[in-house]
Structure 1
Amino acid sequence: MQTYSLIFRTTVVICLFVLNFATLTNNYDFFDEQLEILFKNWLQDNDDHQYDSFDEYQRRMSIFKENYFKIQQFNKNYGLHGAVFDLNKFADQTEDEFRNKILMQSQTPPIHSALRYMKFPTVANVPNSFDWRDYGAVTPVKDQGAVGTCWAFSTVQNVEGQWFMKSKALAELSIEQIVDCDDMQNPDLGQADCGVHGGWPYLSFQYMMRQGGIESESTYPYCAGLKNSCKPCNAPGYNKTICGPPVPYCLIKDSCESASMMTGPLSAALNAEQLQFYHEGIFNPPVCNPKTLNHAVLLVGWGQE
C-alpha cells in the first residue's frame, strides 16, 4: 500500500506540474503577443527606425523585448529613489550598440594644470536651487541623432550661454561646424576631436578661439545625426567672435555651482553607461566610475529633492 500511495502522490505532483507549466506557457505566449503589439506601436511612434530584412525586424523585436524587462527591473530597483526609466528611441538597441553609437569612447578626464581650475569658493551664498533656463540663457533641447556628437552639443550650448551672459540675447550657434571642422588634438593625453566618433569640449573651445568664432545654426545647420546629407566644411565666414584666457575647470560640486552662477551654463562630462532608458527623476547609480567619461552634456543648474 505504501508503494501505491507513493506512486499516487508522485502522479498528482507530475499532473500538477504539467498543468502549471501549461498555464505558465499560455500566459507567456499571451504576454509575448502583447509585447509584439507594443513593439509595433513603438515602431509607429519611431518611424525613422527601418529594418532591411524580416530577420533584422525579428532581431530588433527580440532586443526590444529584452529591454522591456530591463526597464521594469530598473524601475523596481531605483523607482523608490525617484528615477523613472521608460521605452525610448534606443529601445531596439543593445547596450553595446548604445555605447558605440551614441556615447563616446570611455576615457579618463584630462589632467590640467592647477591654474586652470576654479578657486573655491567664489560665490558666498550659493542658493539651494538655480536654473539658467529660468533666465533665458539656454536654447531648446536638441537631438544628436544616432552618432557620437554630444561633445559638440555641450561645447556650443556652453558658448550660447556665454553669448547670452555678454549680450542678454540668445543665439543658436552651429554644432555642425564643430563636428565637421574641429580637428584639435592633445597628443600628450591621446585625446582628439573626431567628428561623429567623439571629442572633448576643452579642445573645441581652443578650436573656436583659433578660428575666431563660429557660424550660426541657420547658416550652418546640424545634419550629422540626421538622414539628410551634410555639406563639407566650407564655412565662408564667422559671424560670432570668441576670444579669452584658457577655459577654467571645476572639480567639485560647490565650485561648479559657483562657476555656473558666475559664468553661465557649464559644459560637463559624465559616465552615461546606465542612462540608455532614463526618463526622469534623480538617478544615483550604485555602480558608476566617475573617471570613465563617455558623454558630454550642459549643466544648466541644480536643486534639491
Structure 2
Amino acid sequence: MSFRILALCLFCATFSPLIRCEKYPEDAESALHLFQSWKREHNKEYQSHVIEQSKFKVFLENLKVINELNVMFKGKTTFGLNHLADLSQKEFSKTVLMPKRRAPVFERERYLRSSHSAALPDSFDWTGQKKVTPVKDQGAAGSCWAFSAIGNIEGLWAVMGKPLTNFSVEQIVDCDGMEDVPKGEADCGVFGGWPFLAYQYVMKAGGLETWEDYWYCSGLGGAPGTCAACPAPGYNTTLCGPPIPYCNMSQSCVTKLDVSKFHPGLNVVSWKAIDENETSIAEQLIKIGPLSVALNAELLQFYHHGIFDPPSFACNPKSLDHGVLIVGFGSEKSIFGTKDYWKVKNSWGPKWGENGYFRILRGQGKCGINTAVTTAVLAKN
C-alpha cells in the first residue's frame, strides 16, 4: 500500500463513518478465478507463465487497493476493475501518466477575459450537441497531452459548424518537438508534453491530418499496428530525457507526414489560456467549446462512477500528470448533498469510468483541474 493510500485510510478511519461497498475477494484462490475472467474480458495475453504470474500478483494487490478506495470514498465515488488492473501504481504512473509538473504561468495578454456578467446555467454539455468525438484509448504511452490538445481542436472545429472530425493524435506525438526553454517545457512524444506547445506545432506545421490518414499507434503495447516511431524533429533531450532506445524511421514523422492530406480549412492561428477562476472556465467553455486541461490523476486508475472529490492532501493540485478535456458541467443532488462538477473526457478507452468520462468536483480547484486550461484559436472560414 502506498503512503498516500495509507494516509487516506487513516483519515477515513479517524474522521468518517465507513459505508460498506461491494468488496472484491482478497484471497489468492478466489482472486485467480476473477483474474482469468478479467483476462478474457479484456483480451489480455502474456508472453510467458512467469510474466503472467507477476501480473497476477499485481492484480491481487490492486483488488486490495480498490477495496480500500471504496471504503475511503464512502460510496460517493466508486472504484472497480478495468483494463488497467494489471498495472502497479508505479507502472501506471510511468506508462500512462506524464512526469509530474507544475502548471505553467503565461504572459498576461495570453489569458482570455471573462465578464461574469451573466448567470451560468445549471448544466451544460457539449457531448449532447455532438461537438465531441468518441473516446479514444492512449494505451501504454504518456500521450494524454496530445489527446487533450486534439480534443480541443476537434471541438472548436465542430462548434464552428464543421463536420465532427477525428484529427490525428499520432501526428502530434510523432512530429511535435516544440519547446519553451525559458519555461523549461517541451513536448516529448510518449514521455509527455503540453497542449499549448501542441497548438504552436500545428501553427508551424500548417495543419493536421485526420485520424484515418495518420492513425494512432504509439500506445498499442505490441499489439498489431504498434509503431516504434523515432523522436520528433527537434526533440529536446535536456528537457525530455533520453529518447526511446529503438525506433523505426519508416514509422516516423519524416516518412509518414503528408501535408497534402492536411484537412482543408483547418488553420490554428493562435492559442489562449483561461485563468484559474472556475466561473471563468465555465463561461469560456460555453462560449468557445471543449477546453484542454491538466490535473493530478494519480488516484483515477480505477475510477468507476461518481463525482471524484478526494481530500486535498491526497491529490496535490501543483503536481499535474495527465491531460484531459473538459466538455461540460452540472450539479448532482444526492443523500450526500448537492455537488457541482465538471464532466471530463478521458483517453483511457470507453470502458473506463463513466463510458470513458469522469466527473470531478467543481469550484475548489480539485487536483489542479483549473490550473492549466488552454484552447487553440482557429481561423474563421
The residue number in structure 2 matching 1:232 is 252
Please give the alpha-carbon distance, in whole angstroms, between the structure 2 residues aligned to 1:301 and 1:251. 16
- In structure 1, the partner of 2:291 is 266
Equivalence map 1:65-214=2 (5 Å): 65-81=60-76, 83-122=77-116, 124-214=118-208
Structure 1 letter corresponding to 2:203:
M
The verdict on how the C-alpha distance between 1:84 and 1:149 changes in structure 2, with shifts beyond 3 A counting, is same
Counterpart Cα distance in 1 of 2:41 and 2:33: 13
Q: 1-side partners of 2:26 and 2:285: how far apart?
A: 52
Corresponding position of 1:283: 308
Residue deviations 1:89-135 (CA, integer Å, cap 9, x gap): 11111111000000000000011012222323356121121100011
What SS does the corresponding residue of 1:245 show, helix, strand or coil? strand
Relative to structure 1, the CA distance from residue 168 to residue 30 in structure 2 (aligned partners, 3 Å threshold; closer, same or farther) is closer
Q: Percent identity?
A: 42
1:260 and 1:266 in contact (8 A); partners too? yes
Alpha carbons 2:200, 2:270 under 8 Å: kept? no
Choose from 315, 321, 325 the match for 1:298: 325
CA contact (8 A) 1:117 1:251 kept: no
Where is the strand percentage greater, Structure 1 or Structure 2?
Answer: 2
Q: Which ranges of 4 or more aligned residues in structure 1 deviate by more than 4 Å?
A: none
CA shift for structure 1 position 235: 1.7
Q: Which has the higher contact order (CA 8 A, sep 6+)?
A: 1
What residue identity is the alignment partner of 1:253? E
Q: Structure 1 residue 52: deviation in Å?
A: 3.0
| Cα distance in 1 for residues equivalent to 2:205 and 2:161 | 21
- TM-superposed CA distance for 1:79, in Å, is 3.5
Cα separation, partners in 2 of 1:45 and 1:115, compared to 1, 3 Å = same
Q: What is the match of residue 55 of structure 2?
A: 60
Distance 1:218 1:46 in 2: 24
CA distance in 1, matches of 2:26, 2:214: 50
Q: CA 1:194 to 1:34, structure 2 compared with 1: closer, same or farther past 3 Å? A: same
CA deviation after TM superposition for structure 1 residue 30, in Å: 9.8
Q: Which of 15, 32, 41 in structure 2 is aligned with 1:36?
A: 32
Normalising by structure 2, report the TM-score.
Answer: 0.69
The CA distance in 2 between the partners of 1:277 and 1:266, in whole Å, is 24
Stretches of structure 2 lacking an aligned partner (at least 5 in a row): 1-24, 228-250, 333-381
Q: TM-score, normalised by structure 1?
A: 0.86
Deviations 1:117-172 (A, max 9, x none): 23233561211211000111000011001111101100001000110111242111
Partner of 2:273: 248
Residue 167 of structure 1: SS of its match in structure 2?
coil
Structure 1 vs Structure 2 CA RMSD:
1.7
For structure 1, the 5+ residue unaligned runs are 1-28
2:323 counterpart SS class: strand
Q: How far does residue 53 in structure 1 lie from its aligned partner after superposition?
A: 2.7
Deviation sequence 1:33-85 (CA, Å, 0-9, x none): 111100111111122x332332222221111111101111111111332x110
Q: CA deviation at 1:31?
A: 3.8
**Structure number with larger C-alpha Rg:** 1
SS in 2 for 1:213: coil
Do the aligned partners of 1:155 and 1:201 also contact (CA within 8 Å) in 2?
Answer: yes
Trace 1:212-227 onto structure 2 (pairs within 5 A). Answer: 212-226=206-220, 227=223
Whole-angstrom CA distance in 2 between matches of 1:252 and 1:198: 26
Query: Which one is further off, 64-73 or 54-63?
Result: 54-63
Shift of 1:203: 0.3
Cα 1:161–1:123 change in 2 (3 A) is farther
Q: Give the deviation of 1:217 after TM superposition.
A: 1.1
CA distance in 1 between partners of 2:98 and 2:216 (Å): 19
